[in-house]
Amino acid sequence: MNSWIDEHAARIAAHAERELEALVAISTPSGDVRGAEEAVALVAALAPDDAEIERPACSTPRHARDLLVRQRGTGSARILLLGHLDTVVSHDEHQPLRREGDQLVGSGSIDMKGGDVLALGVLRALAARRADIAEIALLLVCDEEWRTGPFAHVERFAGFDACLCFEGGQLDPETGHDAVVVKRKAAGTVEVRATGRSSHSGSAPDRGRNALLALAAAAQAIAGCHDPDGPDHLTAVPTVMNSGEAFNVVPAAGRLLADSRADRAEAFDRVLAAIPAEVGGAQLAPRLVRVWPGMDSRAATVGLLERASAAVGRPVIGGQRGGASDASHFASTIAVTVDGLGPLGGGAHAPSEHILAASLRSRAEIALALTDAVLST
C-alpha cells in the first residue's frame, strides 16, 4: 500500500468514530435551520486551521446555507469532495450514536454523516500535499434529502478534475472487493392531483366524482409502466396516496406520489403519458415534481480505478446503484465523478441505520487511493 495512504488512513480512522459520534449527536432533519447550523459549526471547527470557510446559499429556500470548505495549494489539481448534512429523521425519532458489536448505530450514520467524516479526513490529508493541489473543496449541502428545485452549485465547480462523493460504500457482489459507484439511474418523483366533486356517500353517492378512485386508477397506470428489465430499466412505484376527509363523503380531491428510476430521465415521459386525464368524471393532473439526472462515468474512470487499485494494493471495482445522489448533478460537467466513497453499513432512513466500525479505516484507504490517483494523473 502507498505509504501516504497507509499513514493518513490510520489518522482518519483514529479520529473518525469520535467525530462521527459528535456529528450524529446533532439532529439535522432536512429543513431544520438550527440543527444544520450546529452541524456546520462542528465541521468547520474540525477543518484545517487555514482552510477558507464559505456559506453559499442553499438550493432550497428557507434552509440553512450550505457549507463550503476550501483548501488551496501551489499545484494544479482541483478536486471536489461532496456530501450532505441533512437527514430524513425527525427530532422525535433521532438516535445518537451507540456501539452494538461491530456496528455504530445512529440516525444519519450511513446517510451520510459517516461519509462526511471520511471526506473531512481526506481534506485534512490533502492539506499536507499543497504542492499537488490548486484547490480541494469540501461541499456539504443541507437539503439533499428533500430538494425538489434545481441544484445551485454545478457551475461553480465546472472544470474540476474530479468529484468524489461520500455516500455510503459498498462491496462488489461478485468478488467481495471494495467498490465505488460510477453509474446511477435518473430519479423522478411523479405527483398526480385529482379533482372530483363531493357528495354524501350514503344518500347521493352517484352525484359525486370520486377522486380516490381516480387516483387508484392512476396508481395502477403508473405501476403498469414498471419495466426493470426493459431498455431503460424503468421502475415505477406508487408510494403515497391521500384522499378524503370523512368516511361518509365522496372524496373531492387527493394526491398521489410515485417514485420512478431509469437510465434516462426521458423515460419518465412514458409514466406521465400513461396516466388518464379523467376517471369517473374526476380530473387527473400529473407532473414531475423532482427530477435528478442519471450518472455514467464508467468510461472516464477506468484508468483512475486502475491507479487507485495499484496505490491501495487491492482491487477497487466500479459499480452501480439505483438511488439518487448529488454526484449525478456534477457528472455532466466533471467527467471523473465517483460516488459511494463512504463507510459500509445499512438501514438508511430506518431505526437500524448503522455503519460497520472497521470500514472507517478500509474505506478511508479507498477514498485516499482515489484521491491519490487523481493527483497522479
Cα Rg, the chain, nearest whole Å: 23
* Full-model pTM: 0.90
Instruction: List beta partners, residue 80.
Output: 137, 163
Residues in the chain: 377
Question: Dihedral (C-alpha) 259, 260, 265, 267: value to the nearest 10 degrees?
Answer: -140
For residue 31, give the C-alpha cell.
429543513
Can you name the CATH fold of 3-184+294-375?
Aminopeptidase (3.40.630)
Cβ partners under 8 Å of residue 238, min gap 6: 219, 222, 223, 256, 257, 258
CB atoms within 10 A of CB 89: 22
Expressed in angstroms, the distance from the first to the final Cα of the chain is 18
User: Three-state DSSP class for 47?
Assistant: coil
Its sign, for the CA torsion 74, 75, 76, 80, is negative
Strands 103-105 and 67-72: unpaired
Angle at 89 (CA atoms; ends 347, 91), nearest 5 degrees: 140
The alpha carbon of residue 146 and the mean position of all alpha carbons in its chain are separated, in whole angstroms, by 10
Parse the chain into domains and list their residue ranges.
3-184+294-375, 187-292
For residue 198, give the C-alpha cell.
363531493
CB atoms within 10 A of CB 128: 13
Instruction: List beta partners, residue 292.
Output: 187
Instruction: Give me the CATH code for the 187-292 domain, please.
Output: 3.30.70.360
Strand 253-262: give its sheet, edge to edge.
235-243, 253-262, 186-195, 282-292, 278-279
In tens digits, the chain (377 residues) has pLDDT values of 899 999 999 999 999 999 999 999 999 999 999 999 999 999 999 999 999 999 999 999 999 999 999 999 999 999 999 999 999 999 999 999 999 999 999 999 999 999 999 999 999 999 989 999 999 999 999 999 988 889 999 999 999 999 999 999 999 999 999 999 999 999 999 999 999 999 999 999 999 999 999 999 999 999 999 999 999 999 999 999 999 999 999 999 999 999 999 999 999 999 999 999 999 999 999 999 989 999 999 999 999 999 999 999 999 999 999 878 999 999 999 999 999 999 999 999 999 999 999 999 999 999 999 999 999 88
